[in-house]
Amino acid sequence: MEEGHKKILQRYRINIVTSLDPSSLYDLLLQKGVFTPDMIEKIKSSGPRRDQARQLVRDLATRGSRAFPLFLECLQDSEQHSLAELLQSGAPVVQGSVSNRLIHPVVRTLPVSTAVDFQKQIKTVPIYPIKTPTPSPDSENLRAQTQVRTRMQGRTRRDSLQSYKMDASPCGHCLIINNVDFEPQSELSNRTGSNIDCDRLERRFQALGFLVEVRTNLKQRRIKHELSDLSKKDHSPYDCCVVIILSHGTEVSHNRFPGAVYGVDGQYVPVQYITNYLNGKHCPSLQGKPKLFFIQACGGGERDRGFEVPSDEAEPSSGGADDQTDAIPASSSSDSLSTSDEPDAGATLPTPSDILVSYSTFPGYVSWRDAQSGSWYIETLDHILEENAATDDLVTMLMMVNNEVSQNSAKGIYKQMPGSFNFLRKLLYFQTSTVGQN
């Protein structure tokens, strides 16, 4: 496939994954020779509709130069006109058509003046003093950019000198806490679709070289117990540690990391306490090593309706009919725990260096989850890691996640903005020798 067409598929990936009906395309793609029967079966077996759409786009990019226009024809034939028009609007004009041929101007030779005529012309040309033009703001900006480029010439990137060591095998421990079924007295709804998130992340971090352990439906005290056990492990042979929590969440008072996550008993643990279990003071074998926390939970109960931007600034995508939130009203107290039994209860805690906390949503706002395909944030995080971990560092990939999730719309109205609290000191590149293998 031509590089320009690949870029279009990448640019509109979230629109394709959200709205494409792959099942209506399979026979058409076979008839036109875009895919083989084996490739179609592979796509069908990749999972729910969104996973099939994602696999279809991934395989499409590996086909020949005619794959993209034939794909557009299949979209039109299956009456998926809106998506076809969206992709067509970004497609480059096909070279070689009559309307696009280059027309070369006719060059005519001008008569050459004699030496006498030339001397006469020189004498008659008036001479004026040269005025120095006043630089415009645009020219000043261009000059500044040119100067920056000039200064940067000759410099080499030093990424390898500024990266965490991430070559241990296994790379480290990864703990996933997946709270799905909440006790009736908690008055919290069950989190349908969270098992899809959990399965995705378990496969992804195993592929990234981690020892993954999954814990399901934990009460508050059990969450603390699992984190304490993790902090007591000897992490000396490893390079990193990951904690992922999938649960309901709420907004609480904090002085470091915002938010809290709920146990299935309706009692919560503040995120700042969760991170403290693995900081340099309470887990010496992780000192100087990256500690990564991924929180799929609401940061509060507020729903973001977004704001209007020019059409070329965003690529809107509607969420599914089964979109749900992980929101719980904000607590009026600072936390529901006694600080005396927490490892970081004191006021003189060390700076949380080498810690990154990635939140599915901005503090105070809800986080959306589709009962059929999982949460927006986890689904996007999974495929960004799959497609970019070989070339990009973690912080760059999280910005990609932010961008894609921000373009979703729940019920056609509500938005979501993930974000991170980043205290890493270096770039972090995952091991990728086995990325993508499930």
Mapped to the 3 state alphabet, what secondary structure does the chain carry?
Answer: CCHHHHHHHHHCHHHHHHHCCHHHCHHHHHHCCCCCHHHHHHHHCCCCHHHHHHHHHHHHCCCCCCHHHHHHHHHHHCCCHHHHHHHHHCCCCCCCCHHHCCCCCCCCCCCCCCHHHHHHHHHHCCCCCCCCCCCCHHHHHHHHHHHHHHHHCCCCCCHHHCECCCCCCCCEEEEEEECCCCCHHHCCCCCCCHHHHHHHHHHHHHHCCEEEEEEECCCHHHHHHHHHHHHHCCCCCCCEEEEEEECCEECCCCCCCCCEEECCCCCEEEHHHHHHCCCCCCCHHHCCCCEEEEEECCCCCECECCCCCCHHHCCCEECCCCEEECECCCCCCCCCCCHHHCCCCCCCCCCCCCEEEEECCCCCECCEEECCCEEHHHHHHHHHHHHHCCCCCHHHHHHHHHHHHHCEEECCCEECCCEEEECCCCECCCCCCCCCCC
Residues known to be catalytic: 248, 298
- What are residue 174's phi and psi, to 5 degrees? -135, 115
